[in-house]
């Protein structure tokens, strides 16, 4: 039996909306992208034509005023816009996939979570790293007791996205739009993984550095960057364990990076080889040698790996996230990563912001 396609509108045709979400949804047999929204209509028309999207809007409000032809929306816009868009979508009876972080603040995130619960709609957040084949296998092993009780978590995520000081100012580099820099943009992913594997964090202490303090504007003028280019923080688990983090977007990485989870009986290492492949390395008291348990390398796709910033394996993670969103809509039940997961990470982001501003340990609001 042929399923009626889930009709999707994507709000935000920046790099991620146009290069990751749009082709991911367009490639599904049981989903149909019927609208894209972006204030840059010329750019929106270009990607819409490429994927045969019939409706183009400059303003999301116009789309949400006429929701009858929609089942769901994707929010891929600056963080400060998430709350209003999500609440309006739920009021219109739509399901929502919202990019991370969930919101600009804890208060806004709480409003979004409450709106989703009241509407009874599917509400997911874009924590795509949970859909890494290696990370999913790690979760299975942790649940099976392979490393015993989780005690320590460690994640390093450094890239050269903004290493060029002449790369123009991005909205992510302004506190009024994002609340913070790389600790928000990339740190939120690692925070979610830390919570997923180790449970709630009780408090954090953080330090951040702005490596490129000014960026050019398209007008030719210079603008101040008022957020962190690199940040490190320590989290203390409510259970007594520890989590260590480093994120950066203006440094050239060398070698493999990734995530380590240390338990009472062993350690698991998610080893990321750039954006080309990944592997799972394990050691245990029963066999203390480092050994590869699992490897994943997607086939090269020129459509997603061209240009200065190839998506590589990230596209695969996002494809799985998108597929789970559609599956949840059909089943009527939200699976991870949910708005509740996004809200838990939002509370940690707020504590990191406090720690950076006040140079102290900051308590994390209990869930």
Q: Which pLDDT belongs to residue 305?
A: 85
Q: What is the CB-side half-sphere exposure of residue 270 using CA atoms within 13 A? A: 28
Please tell me the least confidently modeled range out of 147-161, 245-259, 269-283, 319-333: 245-259
Does residue 6 surpass a pLDDT of 80?
A: yes
Average pLDDT of the segment spanning 33-60: 96
Of 83, 127, 95, 106, residue with least CA distance to 9: 95
Interior angle at CA 346, CA 11 and CA 177, nearest 5: 50
Predicted pLDDT at 268: 98
Locate all alpha helices (DSSP H) within the chain, ordered by sequence. Answer: 15-16, 22-26, 41-50, 60-65, 82-91, 106-119, 133-143, 175-178, 182-185, 187-198, 302-305, 313-331, 339-358
pLDDT class of 16 with cuts at 50, 70, 90: very high
Quick one: pLDDT at residue 302?
A: 86
What pLDDT, on a 0 to 100 scale, did the predictor assign at position 218?
Answer: 86
Residue 60: Cβ-neighbour burial (10 angstroms; 0-12, 13-18, 19+):
buried
163-179: per-residue pLDDT in tens?
999 999 999 999 999 99
Predicted model pTM: 0.96
Which residue carries 């957020």 as its tokens? 227
Per CATH, which fold does 6-128 belong to?
Rossmann fold (3.40.50)
Q: Domain boundaries in the chain?
A: 6-128, 132-309+347-363
Token pair of 45, please? Answer: 């028309």
pLDDT score for 315: 96
User: 270 and 296 in contact (C-beta within 8 Å)?
Assistant: no
Predicted pLDDT at 1? 62
Output the pLDDT for position 257. Answer: 79
289-303: per-residue pLDDT in tens?
A: 999 999 999 998 888
Q: Are 91 and 112 a contacting pair, CB within 8 Å?
A: no
202 burial via Cβ count (<10 Å: 0-12, 13-18, 19+) = middle
| Mean pLDDT computed over 55-80 | 94
Band of the pLDDT at 288, cuts 50, 70, 90?
very high
Evaluated on CA atoms 187, 189, 192, 194, the torsion sign reads negative
Distance CA 92, CA 70 (A): 9
Q: Which two tokens stand for residue 211?
A: 């490596």
Q: For a pLDDT cut of 70, what percent of the chain falls above it?
A: 99
Q: Per CATH, which fold does 132-309+347-363 belong to?
A: Dihydrodipicolinate Reductase; domain 2 (3.30.360)
Q: Which residue has the tokens 């302004």?
A: 174
């Amino acid at each position: 039996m042929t399923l009626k396609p889930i009709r999707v509108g994507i709000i935000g045709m920046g790099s991620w909306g146009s290069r990751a979400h749009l082709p991911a949804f367009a490639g599904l047999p049981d989903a149909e992208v019927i609208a894209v929204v972006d204030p840059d209509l010329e750019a929106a028309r270009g990607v819409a034509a490429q994927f045969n999207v019939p409706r183009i809007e400059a303003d999301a409000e116009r789309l949400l005023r006429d929701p009858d032809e929609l089942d769901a929306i994707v929010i891929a816009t600056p963080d400060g816009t998430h709350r209003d868009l999500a609440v309006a979508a739920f009021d219109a009876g739509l399901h929502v996939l919202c990019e991370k972080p969930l919101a600009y603040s804890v208060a806004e995130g709480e409003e979004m979570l409450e709106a989703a619960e009241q509407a009874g709609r599917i509400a997911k957040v874009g924590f795509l790293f949970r859909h890494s084949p290696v990370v999913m296998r790690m979760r299975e092993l942790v649940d099976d007791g392979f490393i015993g009780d989780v005690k320590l978590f460690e994640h390093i995520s450094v890239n050269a996205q903004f290493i060029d000081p002449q790369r123009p100012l991005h909205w992510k580099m302004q506190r009024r739009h994002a609340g913070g820099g790389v600790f928000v943009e990339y740190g939120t992913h690692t925070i979610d993984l830390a919570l997923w594997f180790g449970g709630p964090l009780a408090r954090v202490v953080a330090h951040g550095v702005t490596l490129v303090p000014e960026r050019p504007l398209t007008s030719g003028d210079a603008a101040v960057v008022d957020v962190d280019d690199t940040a490190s923080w320590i989290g203390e688990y409510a259970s007594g364990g520890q989590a260590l983090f480093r994120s950066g977007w203006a440094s050239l990485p060398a070698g493999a990076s990734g995530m380590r989870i240390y338990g009472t009986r062993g350690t698991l290492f998610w080893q990321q080889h750039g954006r080309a492949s990944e592997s799972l390395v394990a050691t245990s008291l029963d066999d203390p040698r480092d050994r590869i348990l699992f490897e994943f390398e997607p086939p090269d796709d020129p459509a997603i790996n061209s240009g200065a910033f190839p998506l590589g394996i990230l596209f695969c993670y996002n494809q799985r996230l998108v597929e789970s969103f559609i599956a949840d809509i059909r089943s009527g039940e939200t699976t991870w990563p949910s708005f509740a997961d996004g809200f838990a990470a939002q509370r940690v982001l707020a504590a990191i912001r406090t720690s950076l501003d006040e140079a102290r340990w900051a308590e994390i609001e209990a869930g």
